[in-house]
Chain A
Amino acid sequence: MIKLLQVSKCFNQGRINEFKALRDISIEISTEEVTVIKGPSGSGKTTLLTIIGCMTRPTSGRVWVKGQETTSLPERFASEVRRSLFGFIFQQYNLIKGISAIENIMIPSYPAGVKRAVIVKRAESLLEELDINAKAREKVEHLSGGEQQRVAIARAMINDPSIIIADEPTAHLDTDQSSVLLSIFGRLKEQGKTIIIASHDPLVINSEWVESTIALRDGRITEGGHQS
């Protein structure tokens, strides 16, 4: 269970450009389910995902992940939680240019002190499963959008996390590529992963794998979740 209680997030607090991205959000997300957070651009979807995934701290409110409060975790432990529990698929993929697909995939495993042979084997298996093993040694900037997306998924999966967070995963994909991506999410769900997707793409929102939906607008929940 992932639980947020009265979470607010304010950027540039106290400055002239102060912006409230989230306002008193209280939600519960069940594990081993696919949850979609929908809403128009600027509604706070990405901010909500980053708070759930310990990538940033809320300005106020509390967050629990699998019973452990993560709101005030020291940076070192927050990193540990990110590494072991979460797999992130960023909207812009956020792959590191100039290095190969397989090297990108292996990055999250380095701090874990895993034997290189184990990481390589694991990365190769992921590449094969995602059908991009032929592109393993190619630099990521030479891959198509769909291939880059799959490299980003493989990177998110390398440490075998139990929660997958995907931010607008179909934003840069055509319909066919989006369908392939959704099928991958479906397979992950079958393996018991908790999947949280931020999207305003109807293809994602209406996917048969989606079990719950939370709608956001102007930083407030307008549908689903629990608004306090």
Chain B
Amino acid sequence: MCIQRSRTTLSPLTIFPRDHSLFLREVFGDSQMGWIERQRGYLDFTLASLARRKGKNISLISVYALIVFLVSSLVFLTNSLLREAEALLEAAPDMVVQRTVGGRHELLPVSYIEKIKAIRGIKEVLPRLWGYYYHPASRSNYTIMVPADFSLGEDEVQVGEGVNRTWVGSEEGRFYFKAADGSSVVLKIAGTLPAATELVSSDLILLGEAAFRKISGVPEGFANDLAVTLGNKAESLVIAEKIVLALPDARPILREEILRTYVAVFDWRGGVALILLSGAVIAFLIFAWDRAAGLSSEERLEIGILKGVGWDTSEVLTMKLWEGTVVSLTAFVIGVIGAYLHVFFASGTIFERALKGWAILYPEFTLAPEISLYHLVALLLMTVGPYTLVTVIPAWKASIADPDSIMRQG
């Protein structure tokens, strides 16, 4: 066998200095900056690592961002609707008193007003006339109501935006109603309620007392319920008890209870939508777990190389943590910005049917852009946390072995 011997002439090197302490001082000297530089190094490597699996990571971030977008839209919309309801209920009476017979809401004699007024702490009691009117041509149920300060003529009405959009058969600004006695009542549209109040006014028709009684059949001397204003709102519970003692068939409803009902309704609707969405969320988690749990042989080899060149397990995990954070945070930011635009600038198109309105009356209104920090942090923890964990756990399992074993297995 011919053996060729190396005969290359060599010149002294400057790049591999004999005394390497200078380099080491430069390398390890500034320990306070060391941590930041280390993290920067891991992040640099992570970004390079993500960039080389561009297609895979872009598709992952897209699916992830879509899930964040859907969940965030739901949370933002539910929350904003509640805030909207809260704002509108500020003008509601402190207490509403109804009469119940056999557990059902019945008409209430206006003579109750004097009995309630006699209770100390009550400032004002006003009768309220309201009800529902089903219009067969529109196939919609509308709310009819006599406001306390109704200033229009007896043959005039003021309607919500939803009524304007959906009422079928109006002629020259006139609505035709069928009265309780079978006769016709014609009322002229004198105005439309402000769009800002559409959440609660979409299906509302405001009219005079005489027209209301004719259409609804509520006789004179009766009201649907009473609006009570209190001198001191802190006493509402005590006063409610006194009303029940004085009028055993009365049912006082506090403003807080009305708000709680709204919360329950929107939370329930949001919950139903979230359950429908949970399929997609679970599918994504399975996808993420599969991606993260099953490290490819290439990824295992990579971990082995990193350990072989001097990284320890915690450093590999830090890098993987950065990787999970970059992916999940990018998806989170894209998803949340998308949801913000969707809810506050496109009226939450995807979920409005599930969350807004009732029957076929869907209020069209723009919600005030506002996000609570609590919800944002909750979303962040719900989305970024689990993904980062499912990324780190398999990497930890792979990296606890010695580098030689990992590379042999990889």
Determine if A115 and B308 form an interchain contact, defined as CB atoms under 8 angstroms apart: no
- Using a Cβ–Cβ cut-off of 8 Å, how many residues does chain A contribute to the interface with B? 66
Determine if B309 and A207 form an interchain contact, defined as CB atoms under 8 angstroms apart: no
Determine if B312 and A111 form an interchain contact, defined as CB atoms under 8 angstroms apart: yes
Q: Is B181's beta carbon under 8 Å from chain A? A: no
Interface string of B41-75 (1 = CB under 8 A from A): 11011001101110000000000000000000000
Q: Is A56's beta carbon under 8 Å from chain B? A: yes
Q: Is B359's beta carbon under 8 Å from chain A? A: no
Q: Is A160's beta carbon under 8 Å from chain B? A: yes
Determine if B41 and A110 form an interchain contact, defined as CB atoms under 8 angstroms apart: yes
Stretch from B101-109, B342-350, B367-375, B398-406 forming part of the interface with A:
B398-406
Residues of A36-73 at the interface with B, using a CB-CB cut-off of 8 Å, are: 47, 50, 55-57
Partner of A111 from B41, B44, B53, B402 at Cβ < 8 Å: B41
Q: Taking the nearest CB of chain B, how far is it from the CB of A172, in angstroms?
A: 17
Determine if A191 and B16 form an interchain contact, defined as CB atoms under 8 angstroms apart: yes
Q: Is A159's beta carbon under 8 Å from chain B? A: yes
The residues of B that contact A57 with a CB separation of less than 8 Å are 402
Partner of A186 from B6, B28, B35, B315 at Cβ < 8 Å: B6
Query: Which single residue of chain A is at the shortest CB-CB distance from B405?
Result: A56
Query: Which single residue of chain A is at the shortest CB-CB distance from B22?
Result: A160
Interface string of B212-227 (1 = CB under 8 A from A): 0000000000000000
Partner of B402 from A55, A100, A116 at Cβ < 8 Å: A55
Determine if B405 and A187 form an interchain contact, defined as CB atoms under 8 angstroms apart: no
Query: Which single residue of chain B is at the shortest CB-CB distance from A128?
Result: B15
Q: Taking the nearest CB of chain B, how far is it from the CB of A144, in angstroms?
A: 19
Partner of B313 from A75, A113, A128 at Cβ < 8 Å: A75
Bound: A75/B3 CA distance, A: 42
Q: Is A224's beta carbon under 8 Å from chain B? A: no
Determine if A187 and B13 form an interchain contact, defined as CB atoms under 8 angstroms apart: yes
The residues of B that contact A96 with a CB separation of less than 8 Å are 49, 302, 305
Determine if B311 and A79 form an interchain contact, defined as CB atoms under 8 angstroms apart: yes
Query: Which single residue of chain B is at the shortest CB-CB distance from A87?
Result: B309
Q: Taking the nearest CB of chain A, how far is it from the CB of B48, in angstroms?
A: 5
The residues of B that contact A82 with a CB separation of less than 8 Å are 308-310, 403
Closest 10 CB pairs of A and B: A83-B310, A98-B52, A113-B34, A110-B41, A79-B312, A183-B8, A56-B404, A182-B6, A108-B309, A160-B20
